[in-house]
Chains A and B, each alone.
Chain A
Amino acid sequence: MTRPAVAEPEASKDAGGKQPFRLRLTLAFIYAAVFPLAAFGVFVLTQITPGGPAVTIAPALLFAIAAAAIVGVILALYLAADLTAPLRRIAAAVESVSRGDLSTRIEVGGDDELARLADSHNRLAGDLERRNRELRRILSAIEKASPGLGVDRLADMAGEDARAAFDMIDAVVLLVDPREIPTEERVPGEPRSVRALLHVGEDVLGVLVGRLPATDTWEQADQDLLEVFAAEIAVAIRNAELFERVEAQNAQLVELDAAKDDFLRGVSHNLQTPLTSIRAYADQLGTDRPDRRLAIIAEQSDRLSRMVRQLLTVSRLESGALKPRSEVLALGPHVRRTWEAFGQTDAAFEVDDHAEGWLAVADPDQLDQVLWALLDNAVKYGAGAAVHVSIESDPAARVVRLTIADDGPGIPVEDVDRLFQRFERGAADGHSQGTGLGLYVSRELTRAMGGDLVLAPGNDAAAPTRAAFTVSLPGEPGEEG
């Protein structure tokens, strides 16, 4: 779209009095035509009356005057209507434009004031229509400027959108210090250069520069619009920069996490390999020639390898790489076998199995970690007191629950809240055995298997809570079908 580069002062018009313009114009014509004629008639009548003979002329003259007056009025009415017609058209057009139909134009021939008025109106409506279009285009451009597109793509798109919206020859977003881009002097007849800074607050990200055809006008309103656009694009680009940074950091974290996992996997492998030999040789020797000392070697190497495994499990829980599988198993035999792995312990152990044929759905290896940690705690903190296990099924909830409790001193009130946090150990005895990860890992593992691990609430707010931990797991009735 091109616009004529004419800048004329808008035709100013008197607002007028009380009567309609057309009536006033008519009266003016009538005054101008009738009064001189009437004056002439009166003059003639006064001149000829005294003589007498020409008396017969008088009625004819009066008739002539009246007829002339009537013709004059009709002519005046017609002339006034003709003169005001363009004005009415202008009024109708302005009304239409103000109602929102910006495409309305006024057709007025000639080169007079009214034609110029119409022309001014047409240009005003054209400008409004063009800015509306620019606004729509830049709004849709802003809308589609999603930070996920990336900085370069956003800058490219913004240049193209600005070019299309403002009818530029070309436009480009340069993400450099604007002082590096010299402002061009305007040369008449040459394309005209326009620019707007991309800034977010005080921070200048770059500059949008474009060239307009030499015949186009560029008014303050256009410049304002371009600057609004540039500011919005600057925000989008800043968001995209932040987005890219976050993405990069994420990728780095994922990489670090994988590296950590690989490292831990390697360390674990390198620790478990000798432990495997130690454990297996101790077992084999112990089978040939039972010896309490060999059993201790086997159990302690087992303990060590479980700690290593716990560390690896924590890392996997954190990275979400741990995927327990669901197999069915009976909790009673499972907990007995885990207890057997402890070998020698002086504590009494009893299992109260009320599962009534219900099986748990769990990952046997992961459940083994959980039960081992809970039994280990019961032995360690129970100070040799008896360890009780009870198993119950809750058919309504389709859950099986296993509770491991010891008759030890219980858990001090101040420890209860942070029991399941990482690297927490019972404070009371200053025990430094273990990783401090047992309960944390156990709870996370049971949750990963669709269950939970809780400490049975104490009855007395001040007294130590009995150490009774309940593992709940999804359950299935052991029926044929």
Chain B
Amino acid sequence: MLTGGWRGGSGAPRILIVDDDPNLLVLLADQLKGDGFEIQTARDGQEALRRLQSGWPDLLILDMMMARMDGLSLAREIKARADLPIIVLSAIDTADSKAEILEEVAEDYVTKPYHYPELRARVLRVLRRLGDKVPRQSLVLGPDLTLELHHRTAIVGGTPVQLTPTESRLLYALAANLGSTVSTETLLDRGWADTDDADPSYVWVTMRRLRQKIERNPDRPAHVVTVRGVGYRLVGDGVDAPAGQ
């Protein structure tokens, strides 16, 4: 079930791990290096920022509770500069109100003590979307729908609606290919790590729930369009949706 390490082309992805526990830092660096990633480590936020001066990694793995500069401040500072994907690795679980704030800036969240295969699966899932580029600011799809994916929010008829991490990942993949069809397979790949036991029905149901949130009429979707048997396409107003393909 596990897909092992990095098998992509063109050089190993670089990951910066920021954690104030040296034991964990050494171990996790070892584990990820063993799977073919290029690893840098930092003990706190300041050190992380110094490391960033000599080049940006592809991914940041970040502890939330650190002595000098907490994970949230660091994540915000980094996100203000660039769309660097962040995976939070924290002893505080995702249902915590503080985690919720951090989730706004983080791509994914792994609770300590982590299960390495799961962490690796999530790292790979995040890296899969590196080619996808969507605007840093809001994406206006029509008078009644604006996406702010970096805040995990959709503005529906003027009202902000919170998206779940998975919903925003799927929308991110669709938005990166605005107007063209994205296959269910790709969406599955972008939305879930391979430890999530996901199958295409995960995509279908999540899309249906997403439409309930953002479509004016979920039964006649105007923005998230099904291309039956193939996948989905995100369209803005004024963009015609040709049938099929």
**Which residue numbers of A lie inside 8 Å of B, CB to CB?**
265, 268-269, 271-281, 283-284, 301-302, 305, 309, 312-313, 316, 321-330, 333-334, 337, 341, 357, 359, 361, 363-366, 476-481
Contacts and interface: CB of A to CB of B under 8 A. Distances in A.
A272 B90 CA distance: 9
A316 B97 CA distance: 9
A415 to B, nearest CB: 29
B91 A276 contact: yes
A272 B89 CA distance: 12
A277 B24 contact: yes
Contacts of A341: 115
A169 to B, nearest CB: 55
B91 to A, nearest CB: 4
A329 B205 CA distance: 9
Contact of B23 (A277, A327, A476): A277
A300 to B, nearest CB: 12
Contacts of B35: none
Contacts of B196: 329, 364
B27 A363 contact: no
27 contacts: A269-B92, A271-B91, A273-B24, A277-B27, A280-B31, A280-B113, A280-B116, A284-B116, A309-B93, A309-B111, A316-B95, A316-B97, A321-B97, A327-B165, A328-B166, A337-B197, A357-B201, A359-B201, A361-B209, A363-B95, A478-B199, A478-B202, A478-B204, A480-B200, A480-B228, A480-B229, A481-B208
B111 A365 contact: yes
A476 B209 contact: yes
Contact of A305 (B113, B195, B228, B229): B113
A309 B113 CA distance: 11
Contacts of B166: 327-328
B240 interface: no
Which secondary structure dominates chain A's binding surface? Answer: helix
B100 interface: yes
A433 B92 CA distance: 24
A366 to B, nearest CB: 6
A357 B205 CA distance: 11
Nearest to A366: B95
Q: Which of A265, A277, A363 has the most CB of B within 10 A?
A: A277
B128 to A, nearest CB: 18
Which has the most chain A C-beta neighbours within 10 Å: B28, B65, B195, B200?
B65
Contacts, number: 128
A359 B202 contact: yes
Interface of B: 21, 23-24, 27-28, 30-31, 65, 91-98, 100, 111-116, 164-166, 195-197, 199-202, 204-206, 208-209, 226, 228-229
Contacts of A273: 21, 24, 91, 112
Nearest to A313: B95
Contacts of A325: 94-95, 164-165
Nearest to B211: A481
B197 A334 contact: yes
A478 B205 contact: yes
B117 to A, nearest CB: 9
A272 B91 contact: yes
Contacts of B209: 326, 328, 361, 476
B28 A280 contact: yes
B205 A359 contact: yes
Q: Max chain A CB contacts within 10 Å: which of B27, B92, B98, B204?
A: B204
Contact of A301 (B28, B93, B113): B113
For B114, B166, B201, the residue with the greatest tally of chain A CB atoms inside 10 Å of its CB is: B201
B95 A324 contact: yes
Given A359-B202, A476-B208, A269 B65 contact: yes
Instruction: Among A273, A284, A329, find the residue whose CB has the most chain B CB atoms closer than 10 A.
Output: A273
A363 B31 contact: no
Given A312-B96, A323-B100, A479-B201, 12 more contacts: A280-B24, A305-B113, A309-B111, A321-B97, A328-B205, A328-B209, A330-B201, A337-B197, A363-B94, A364-B196, A480-B200, A480-B226
Given A329-B202, A479-B204, A276 B95 contact: no
B197 A365 contact: no
A367 to B, nearest CB: 11
A292 B114 CA distance: 20
A309 B204 CA distance: 33
A16 B166 CA distance: 100
A7 B215 CA distance: 82
Given A329-B196, A481-B226, A316 B201 contact: no
Contacts of B100: 323
Contacts of A366: 95
A366 B100 CA distance: 14
Nearest to B91: A272
A35 to B, nearest CB: 102
Nearest to B25: A277
Contacts of B204: 478-481
B97 A302 contact: no
